[in-house]
Structures are given as C-alpha cells and as structure tokens.
C-alpha cells in the first residue's frame, strides 16, 4: 500500500481497515515490507504504517527499567504486540524486549513461527 494515512480496527470480520493514497482496503494481515524500521518507535523517521499503528496504541514502545527504550513491547512467546493480538512483530523492533535481531536465520525462524501460528487450524 502506498502512502498509508490511517489504520483502523473496525471490529468486523477483517481486523484492519487501511486508508492509503488510493483509497481504503480491508486486510486480515498487514506485512510491512518497506524495509524501513527505526528502533525508536516514536521516531519522526518511522514509516507511516508503523507511525499509525503506534498512534492508535496497536504498537507500544518497550519500557525498560530506565523508561522508554528501543523496540516495541512484545510477547516473546508468540510475537504479538502488547497493544494488539492482531499485530505481530518480526523485525528490529524486537531489539528492546530481549535480543538483537539481525541475522537472516533468526528472522526466518521468527517468520516461520508467525506464519505457522497465523495459518494453523483452530483448536477447540
């Protein structure tokens, strides 16, 4: 999507409604493939998609003992953002909660786990 202007969670069957340069799209998943991530979540250099998710509270900054720090607050068991169980994190925003994520094998492992969880059949 080009020129993300807003991210809404309408609560219907689609978890996201994205306003962008060419209109509005409903999406079950959003993948930030822009390659742009500033480890400081509130940075003015953040992509418009991440800035919108942060402004809506769907992404929260990681808070260490000394206060706000690099990265996003995330559950490291399932990589869900602390702000939403609909937002999963697999990029440099994982830096704050516990580890430096840069190697291709580490990122591939995280993405593999995210995809398996997202597309696994529901268990009752």
pLDDT digits (tens, 9 = 90+) for 62-97: 988 888 888 899 887 778 888 888 888 888 887 766
How much is the pLDDT for 2?
61
* DSSP secondary structure of 55-99: HTTSS-EEEETTEEEEEE-EETTTTEETTEEEEE--SGGGGTTT-
16 in any annotated domain = yes
52 in any annotated domain = yes
pLDDT digits (tens, 9 = 90+) for 109-123: 778 887 887 777 665
Range of the domain at 100: 6-119
How much is the pLDDT for 43?
92
Domain count within the chain: 1
1 in any annotated domain = no
pLDDT digits (tens, 9 = 90+) for 23-66: 998 888 777 766 778 889 899 998 888 888 999 899 999 988 88
80 in any annotated domain = yes
How much is the pLDDT for 114?
78
């Amino acid at each position: 999507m080009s020129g993300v202007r807003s991210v809404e969670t309408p609560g219907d069957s689609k978890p996201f409604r994205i306003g962008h340069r060419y209109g509005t799209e409903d999406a079950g998943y959003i993948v930030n493939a822009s390659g742009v991530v500033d480890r400081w979540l509130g940075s003015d250099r953040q992509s418009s998609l991440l800035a919108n998710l942060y402004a809506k509270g769907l992404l929260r900054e990681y808070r260490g003992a000394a206060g706000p720090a690099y990265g996003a607050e995330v559950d490291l068991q399932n990589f869900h953002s602390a702000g939403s169980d609909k937002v999963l994190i697999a990029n440099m925003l994982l830096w704050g909660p516990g580890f430096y994520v840069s190697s291709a094998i580490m990122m591939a492992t995280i993405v593999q786990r995210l995809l398996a969880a997202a597309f696994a059949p529901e268990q009752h």
